[in-house]
Chain A
Amino acid sequence: MSEPRTLLAIDHVSKNFGRVTAVDGISLDIRENEFFALLGPSGCGKTTLLRMLAGFETPSDGRILLDDRDIARIPPNKRPVNLMFQSYALFPHMSVRANVSYGLEMERLPAAEIRSRVDAILATTELVPFADRKPEQLSGGQKQRVALARALVKRPRLLLLDEPLGALDKKLRGAMQLELKRLQHEVGITFVIVTHDQEESLVMADRMAVLKDGRLLQCDTPHAIYEHPTDRFVADFIGVMNFVPGKVSADGVMAANGARIAGKVPAALSPGASAVASVRPERIRLFPSAETANRTTGTVEALAYHGLDLQLHVRTPLSPKSFLVRVTADAADRRPVSSGDQIELGWDAADVRIFAE
């Protein structure tokens, strides 16, 4: 299988506003037909980067290559890129149909073609019954679909989505995550989505980039980022992680209480340096066998039942913060634990990730 073609190359792009650097030398390749997520906390530069892709901001430095052509200085109305705004930005004085037709009218297409393309996209987004309504007559989910239809009908090379699900309630958000993925498959357009919700990008993205303070920390598939974070911030930001602070030793980390956490030490860390060992809650077992590489005892502080699994907060001598442990409901049924119990925890050396502190 050949390597997928690069559609958009972000090449050492920076953006300064006065003395503030919003985006700091980011390089990224986005591939044809990919669902790509830009993820990071607020203020990480993801929205500025998205606005540079749409043409509303010009990079202070670097190139943005779309199909090998530098579009960094092309105005928004002249690039084959469309943006779905976080506020949806539907034209309140136009009907749903007029909103969706607007972009095609700007291309001066024949009326018959506009009509058939608008009809088709309204059908795809299940908006036909609402075609004559004004935006204020629509629910949040319907408005979101109009914004999507209005951008998709232009058949852009690249569709940008700024926090597309942010305005929806939690239940609708879950349904729309799958809906967006289905639509992306159906129309065959590359999607770049900006979000601060790590769960959203894990569910939807083919690949994702984690940004912080204007810099790119890691770019990979959701699975690789979850299982092999290369940075302490990424490990903490994506999913839940238990951390044990200490010093680097020959084959792991020595915790403050003298306990040794076995795990693979990255080559860049020299013995004696400050470091943290980390392990995901679902990798920790209760009542481990004697051969388990890492073991500790702890006191159960609280239990939370989540249906599919049970989440335990366990105080251990390893770190000032209590450990979060997730065990399946089955396992919990076999050996019930309750608050205040002394229990033993264990996890394998292969599940330990070590980062510089």
Chain B
Amino acid sequence: MAPALVWLTALMVVPCALVLALAFFRRGIYGGIDYTFTLENFGLVFDPLYAGIFLKSARIAGTATLIAVVIGYAAAYAIAAAPRRWQPVFLFFAVLPFWSNYLIRTYAWIVLLNREGLITQLLRWFGYTGEPPSMLYTEGAVIAGLVYNYLPFVILACYAPLSRLNPELAEASRDLGASAATTFRRVILPLTVPGIAAGAVFVFVLSIGNFVTPALLGGGRFQMIGNLVYDQFLTANDWPFGAALAMALIAIMLLVLMAQALAADRAAGRAAEARGDADG
């Protein structure tokens, strides 16, 4: 317990406190920091220009989450339905991209989406002669990159409850007169929601603060909050404002994580209460 606390203090609490403290000072005239107290930086976070970037980041992260959940759940469902001995093999391949570098995986998308990239060449091969489609440096490219990078998390998170589901539950539903679609909607989906929620929170939190994917696939002027923070620290030299933006981002992530933890806790609490009742 004690060593963990030391590590947590040294590596998490102290750096966060330093960044938080930074946010309450003024920017020096030639960069640097002017150590006088102010709340201006936090006010600026709510300026329509920056609030708009927050909203856009949330929208992109939300879209990426939705797509990743749909694809990831379908993949997890297919793996859980495969013969037992093949399941570890399929899971291995689903997680395989994780073993390569995040940057390389993102660069691969540039090769795909380029004006003269693989997709354009493929279209040409099928006889397409018009203008090459502009796919790189768009919001779509950013979303594709985020979905691709975080998909394995969703597959693993959804596979766990799907593989534990008693197959007789689906059979019982069919036996009672439900079609396959109704069985999915009323039995399988509700019982695997915790996995979906865990995977979704993961993708959203990692996406909303991401700055590498928007920088590489969104082009130079494309900005999400992560890029904005990056710019304040390294380009604009406005560390106090960068710190305030970072704090706002952390606050959003904490809210999402807490909401999920609370929901999971409540589900677990209901289950525990139920078991208590049965014992009494």
- Interaction A to B: yes
Interface of A toward B, CB cutoff 8 Å: 54-56, 75-77, 82-83, 85, 87, 89-93, 102-103, 106-107, 133-134, 136-139, 150-151, 154
List, sorted by A's number, 5 A–B pairs whose CB atoms are closer than 8 Å: A54-B175, A82-B175, A93-B190, A133-B277, A137-B274
Name the one of A93, A133, A138, A154 contacting B176, with C-beta atoms under 8 angstroms.
Answer: A154
Contact assessment for A138 and B168 in the assembled complex, using a CB-CB cutoff below 8 Å:
no
| A-contacting 9-mer, from B60-68, B177-185, B206-214, B247-255 | B177-185
Residues of A within 8 A of B275 (CB): 136-137
A85→B278 CA distance, assembly (Å): 22
B173 at the A interface (CB under 8 A): yes
A103-B274 CB under 8 A given contacts A85-B171, A87-B166, A89-B169? no
Minimum CB–CB distance from A131 to chain B (whole Å) comes to 14
For chain B, residues 150 to 194, give those with C-beta under 8 angstroms from any C-beta of chain A. 166, 168-169, 171-179, 182, 186-187, 190-191
Contact assessment for B187 and A91 in the assembled complex, using a CB-CB cutoff below 8 Å:
yes
A interface majority secondary structure: loop
Minimum CB–CB distance from A163 to chain B (whole Å) comes to 12
B13 at the A interface (CB under 8 A): no
Contact assessment for A77 and B271 in the assembled complex, using a CB-CB cutoff below 8 Å:
no
A134-B274 CB under 8 A given contacts A89-B166, A91-B187, A93-B190? yes
Minimum CB–CB distance from B179 to chain A (whole Å) comes to 6
Name the residue on B nearest A150 (C-beta): B176
Residues of A within 8 A of B173 (CB): 91, 102
Residues of B within 8 A of A154 (CB): 176-177
Residues of A within 8 A of B190 (CB): 93
A42→B96 CA distance, assembly (Å): 42
A133→B191 CA distance, assembly (Å): 17
B59-89: CB near A (< 8 Å → 1, else 0) gives 0000000000000000000000000000000
Residue with the greatest number of chain B CB neighbours at <10 A, chosen from A89, A136, A137: A89
Contact assessment for B177 and A89 in the assembled complex, using a CB-CB cutoff below 8 Å:
no
A24→B268 CA distance, assembly (Å): 48
Residues of A within 8 A of B187 (CB): 91
B245-276: CB near A (< 8 Å → 1, else 0) gives 00000000000000000000000000100110
Minimum CB–CB distance from A148 to chain B (whole Å) comes to 13
Minimum CB–CB distance from A179 to chain B (whole Å) comes to 21
Closest 7 CB pairs of A and B: A106-B177, A103-B176, A89-B172, A89-B168, A76-B174, A137-B278, A137-B274
Given contacts A77-B177, A136-B278, 14 further A-B contacts (CB under 8 A): A76-B175, A77-B178, A85-B171, A90-B172, A91-B169, A91-B187, A103-B176, A103-B177, A106-B182, A133-B277, A136-B271, A137-B275, A154-B176, A154-B177
Residues of A within 8 A of B271 (CB): 136
Contact assessment for B179 and A87 in the assembled complex, using a CB-CB cutoff below 8 Å:
no
A75→B274 CA distance, assembly (Å): 36
Name the one of A83, A89, A136 contacting B274, with C-beta atoms under 8 angstroms.
Answer: A136
B interface majority secondary structure: helix
Contact assessment for B176 and A82 in the assembled complex, using a CB-CB cutoff below 8 Å:
yes
Contact assessment for B175 and A138 in the assembled complex, using a CB-CB cutoff below 8 Å:
no
A89-B171 CB under 8 A given contacts A77-B179, A136-B274? yes
Residues of B within 8 A of A92 (CB): 169, 191
Minimum CB–CB distance from A56 to chain B (whole Å) comes to 6
Name the residue on A nearest B168 (C-beta): A89
A139-B278 CB under 8 A given contacts A106-B182, A107-B177? yes
A103→B179 CA distance, assembly (Å): 11
Minimum CB–CB distance from A87 to chain B (whole Å) comes to 5
Minimum CB–CB distance from B168 to chain A (whole Å) comes to 4
A91→B178 CA distance, assembly (Å): 13
Name the one of B172, B179, B186 contacting A85, with C-beta atoms under 8 angstroms.
Answer: B172
Contact assessment for B176 and A102 in the assembled complex, using a CB-CB cutoff below 8 Å:
yes
Contact assessment for A106 and B168 in the assembled complex, using a CB-CB cutoff below 8 Å:
no
Residues of B within 8 A of A91 (CB): 169, 172-173, 187
Contact assessment for A87 and B168 in the assembled complex, using a CB-CB cutoff below 8 Å:
yes
Minimum CB–CB distance from B273 to chain A (whole Å) comes to 9
Contact assessment for A75 and B169 in the assembled complex, using a CB-CB cutoff below 8 Å:
no
Name the one of A76, A85, A137 contacting B277, with C-beta atoms under 8 angstroms.
Answer: A137
Contact assessment for A77 and B175 in the assembled complex, using a CB-CB cutoff below 8 Å:
yes
Residues of A within 8 A of B174 (CB): 55-56, 75-77
Residues of A within 8 A of B274 (CB): 134, 136-137
Residues of A within 8 A of B182 (CB): 106
Residues of B within 8 A of A133 (CB): 277
Minimum CB–CB distance from A77 to chain B (whole Å) comes to 5
Residues of A within 8 A of B178 (CB): 77, 102, 106
A106-B176 CB under 8 A given contacts A91-B187, A92-B191? yes
A138→B166 CA distance, assembly (Å): 18
A138-B278 CB under 8 A given contacts A76-B175, A77-B177, A103-B176? yes
A138→B173 CA distance, assembly (Å): 20
A139→B278 CA distance, assembly (Å): 7
Residues of B within 8 A of A150 (CB): 176
A134→B173 CA distance, assembly (Å): 17
A56→B275 CA distance, assembly (Å): 33
A227→B53 CA distance, assembly (Å): 86
A136→B274 CA distance, assembly (Å): 7
Residues of A within 8 A of B277 (CB): 133, 137
Residues of B within 8 A of A55 (CB): 174-175
